[in-house]
Amino acid sequence: MTLKKNKFILVALLIMSTFITGCWDYKELDDQIIIFGTAIDYNQENKGIILTAEITLPTSSGKESNFSSKIYQGKGQNLMDAIVDLQSKAGRRLLWSHSKVLILSEDIIGQEKLFVGIMDWIKRAHEIRDTVWLLTTHEKTAAEILQKSNPQTQKIISAYLDGLFLAGKSETFLDVHYSKFIKDLQSATVCAALPTIRLEDSPNGILPLLDGTALYYRTKEVGWLDGKRTRVLLLLMNQLKQAVFVPEPSDNHKVNGVSLKMDYCQTDIKPILGPKGLVMEIDIKMEAQIGEIDGEQDVFTPDKIKKLIKGAQSEITAQINELLQLLQKDYQCDVLGFGNKVEAKHPKFWKKIKNRWPNEYAQIPTAIHLKLSIFGSQESKEVTKVGP
């Protein structure tokens, strides 16, 4: 009886497998248009949205298949209305699952009701992934980034931008997913941040350049950091893995004209509650190699290395202090999450100060402990000289 029962179950499973294999919601790719990237602007005329989309199209050249892109635009009272308009112009169903980047103009972010609707649509749309990269721009419109860019190395602009984020060695911009941005935007203490993109003229055309960081409290931009300050921000966020440090020429610098290649950066920020109150302890460890020596100078003696380390530590510490001053005093923007760290480490103390956190944040002293090690040169320890 057991053998017959097992045979019956096996036959039933084989019959059922013929009905459940394959993709139940499969659709022909030819019936859909792949959205690779989008830009969203505020429509001043009707107080709505202008949605600009970069779509990809397969092209064949002999035996090879390639992809090119086209730009479509839709308009509406909100994002869903603009999507309907866009789809009517495209003539086919829009496929969002391959969308890589979303560029937001500063005007649309400032329109809180519309902007919240955009963020809500991303959360509810089952196709678009919450790992889509978010960017903002100070160009006149976000659409210009897709309409005017000519990156040369990539026909699809959105794929080019996606490649920059995936490279993983950025020094001048943050990589921000939707999930990270919306979490910070909803926080009662943390300021949200977005990488900024701009257009730059070059002999080979107009290039899209990721450079700098926009800082937000709710939907209001409270400050902007250029590429150099963004590098320091990445260091404090413990997201700077590799970097190039070029010291500023100075009569007070220990060793001028020596550039360092940072191969390791580790940052730990801890709130310390002592007799004199709260202090943010910032411990940083960095390891570097000598990347370039300007002029005929030998810096490989122990004495010169010590002077180089001392000078570099002093200058990097000064850059950190300058950024912290900007964030705490001028922008009052807790983009580093000091409040979250205090709440996690000292919950009782946090309950006392959380209602006046903006004022407390601006006054918190910081203690920076930077340890830099230089362990050699990239390829050679010989000094480069010109002939007699």
Please say whether the beta carbons of 41 and 54 come within 8 A.
no
Per-residue model confidence as pLDDT tens digits over 69-98: 899 999 999 999 999 999 998 887 888 989
For 233, left (φ over 0), alpha (ψ -120 to 50), or beta? alpha
Same domain, 41 and 125: yes
Q: Is the pLDDT reported for residue 250 higher than 80?
A: no
Same domain, 74 and 132: yes
| Average pLDDT for 35-42 | 96
Same domain, 174 and 204: yes
* CATH for 371: 3.30.300.210
Specify the pLDDT at position 188. 84
Question: How long is the chain?
Answer: 388
Q: Is the pLDDT reported for residue 6 higher than 70?
A: no
Q: Is the pLDDT reported for residue 292 higher than 80?
A: yes
Residues 52, 57, 59: CA angle, nearest 5 degrees: 150
Residues 220, 223, 225: CA angle, nearest 5 degrees: 140
Specify the pLDDT at position 378. 45
Same domain, 190 and 263: no
- Partners of 214 in beta bridges: 194, 224
Same domain, 97 and 221: yes
Domain final position from 225, 248, 270: 225
Same domain, 257 and 355: yes
| Average pLDDT for 356-379 | 88
Q: Is the pLDDT reported for residue 13 higher than 70?
A: no
Rg of the chain (C-alpha set): 27
Do the domain assignments include residue 18?
no
What are the structure tokens assigned to 384, written together? 């480069």
Specify the pLDDT at position 308. 87
Specify the pLDDT at position 386. 37
Confidence grade of residue 387 (pLDDT, cut at 50, 70, 90): very low
| Average pLDDT for 301-327 | 92
Do the domain assignments include residue 158?
yes
Per-residue model confidence as pLDDT tens digits over 130-151: 889 999 999 999 999 999 998 7
Same domain, 53 and 104: yes
Specify the pLDDT at position 384. 44
Specify the pLDDT at position 383. 47
Percent of the chain topping pLDDT 70: 82
37/370 Cα distance (integer angstroms): 41
CA-nearest of 94, 89, 199 to 141 is 199
Please say whether the beta carbons of 198 and 137 come within 8 A.
yes
Domain count for the chain: 2
Same domain, 213 and 265: no
Specify the pLDDT at position 280. 97
Please say whether the beta carbons of 239 and 193 come within 8 A.
no
Per-residue model confidence as pLDDT tens digits over 153-186: 778 899 999 998 888 667 889 999 999 999 999 8
Same domain, 120 and 159: yes
Specify the pLDDT at position 221. 95
Task: Tell the residue number behind the tokens 């050679």, with chain if given.
Answer: 380
Same domain, 221 and 242: no
183/199 Cα distance (integer angstroms): 29
Q: Is the pLDDT reported for residue 339 higher than 90?
A: yes
> For residue 337, what are the domain limits?
238-388
Mean pLDDT of the chain: 86
**Edge-to-edge strands, sheet with 258-274:** 243-245, 258-274, 277-293, 366-377
Do the domain assignments include residue 116?
yes
Higher per-residue confidence, 62 vs 80:
80
